Amino acid sequence: MFAFVAFAALMTPQAAAQEQPVEPYKIDPTNAGAAPFAGDGMARAFGGQDGISRIVDRFVTANFADRRIGEIFMNQDEVRLRRVLFEQFCYILNAGCTYTGRDMRAAHKDMGVQQGDMNRLVENLQAAMQAERVPFAAQNRFLAKLAPMRRDVVER
């Protein structure tokens, strides 16, 4: 019983939610890979920071649980990914954030991501945006911003 309680204490959310350190890199919002939208239309279409946060959470959870691409995410730093992906989306949607993560080439280096993996990830993002009732036109504008990043993410 005592052992179980001690184990459970180790597994508290605080203990599990530690972000792992990464190799040093230069922090620069242009690492986000796309310039932010002008105005607040896109931020509002996504429900502001609260909506973006829910979309990122749903999206990250779906990617880790995915039978097709989950293997690529397995053993990666989910805590960090949730934080910097939120920053990236919030920054690009002009919802009042800056991006402190790595650039897309460095972030996906040697992961072996293929075009089919990218397509699957986009499907998961579409489902997350749909669940948050982001208007279809705004979904597509956002996906069009992300699309050119393919060349830095997908390996050939």
By Cβ distance, which residue is nearest to ligand HEM?
Answer: 101
Is there binding between residue 36 and ligand HEM (CB under 6 A)? no
Stretch that binds ligand HEM, among 39-47, 48-56, 79-87, 127-135 (CB under 6 A): 79-87
Binding mask 126-145 for ligand HEM (x = CB under 6 A): --------------------
Longest dimension (CA), the chain: 57
Q: How many residues in the shown chain lie near ligand HEM by CB under 6 A?
A: 22
Q: How far is the CB of 63 from ligand HEM (least distance, A)?
A: 7
Using an 8 Å Cβ cutoff, are 72 and 111 in contact? Answer: yes
Binding residue (CB under 6 A) for ligand HEM from 56, 82, 88, 97 = 88
Residues that bind ligand HEM (CB under 6 A): 69, 72-73, 76-77, 80-81, 84-85, 88, 101-102, 107-108, 111, 113, 117-118, 121, 146, 149, 153
